[in-house]
Structure 1
Amino acid sequence: MTRVLAWLLSNAVAIAVAAWLLDGISFARPDEPFGTEVQEKVLPLLAVSAILGLVSVTVEPVVKLLSIPFIILTIGLFLLVINALMLLLTAWIADKVAPEAIGFHVDGFWNALVGSIIITLVTGFIDVAVLDD
């Protein structure tokens, strides 16, 4: 249970860093500016982290299995595309589940691509620096 909680929190921090660094990833609702307090963003961050976790556990393995020829052909670079698509899918699900409560938006493929790279790097750093067993 503590491992799942640590994973959820590290993903939430990574998503927050991606939203902070990229203008195309945000938690702003369409009717309010992004400058709201951090406390108001904690629950949406945790919700997006949970949705991303569910997408990573259920959808991503199937997509990777079906994409093996493209992954081999591109020497693994197609995995970056898959990660970007999973982030876009997470934003779409968050918008369908609770658009007013979460307000998570990813504007376009390139923001998703860079955002997924940032999320991967930050979670990797957290895993090594903080969560190393």
Structure 2
Amino acid sequence: MGFLTSLLIRLGSTALAFWLATLLIPGITLETSSISEAIVTLLIVAVIFGVVNALLQPIIKTVGCGLYLLTLGLIALVVNGLLFLLTGYIADQLDLPFHVDGFWPAAVLGALFVGVVTWLLGLVLDRD
């Protein structure tokens, strides 16, 4: 499977995970009037989430290495929740109809849910 195909599969599975999160987790909302607008919004949010994670996650892990060791990795839930909340903030700034309301119920659960769903979809879909 080529690089572009793998990238598109990851983008689609992340967008699907975000859509499922809007349906299942209170505090994560997608306020669109059409299916095409929802698909475009979810794809853009998936790209934002991927860029935020790609740029900030390595820096945070390097700087906060001691906290990761001290908390046995549990600080990763907080970090992922903050990155999820940042994604919602950037989407708000771009006037996208995707909103994350609050840190504990929405952002942390949303980040955990999206991570697990994309991992599961990656196992099923991203095969050579």
- Identify whether the pair has TM-score above 0.5, normalized to the shorter chain: yes
CA contact (8 A) 2:11 2:46 kept: yes
CA contact (8 A) 1:64 1:82 kept: no
Residue matched to 2:92: 95
Given the alignment, which residue of 20, 25, 31 partners 2:23?
Answer: 20
Inter-partner Cα distance in structure 1 for 2:75 and 2:69: 8
Q: Which runs of 5 or more structure 2 residues have no equivalent in the other structure?
A: none
Inter-partner Cα distance in structure 1 for 2:19 and 2:115: 12
Q: Which amino acid aligns with 1:120?
A: G
Shift, 1:20, TM fit: 0.8
Inter-partner Cα distance in structure 1 for 2:126 and 2:101: 31
Correspondence 1:76 to 2:79 = no
Q: Which runs of 5 or more structure 1 residues have no equivalent in the other structure?
A: 29-33
Identity %: 36
Shift, 1:76, TM fit: 0.5
Higher helix fraction (1 or 2): 2
What is the number of residues matched between the two proteins? 124
Cα deviation per residue 1:80-131 (whole Å; 9 max; x = unaligned)?
Answer: 11110110111111111x21xx211101111100001110110011011222
SS class of match (2:113): helix
Cα deviation per residue 1:17-38 (whole Å; 9 max; x = unaligned)?
Answer: 111101200122xxxxx6x443
Residue matched to 1:39: 36
Residue matched to 2:125: 130
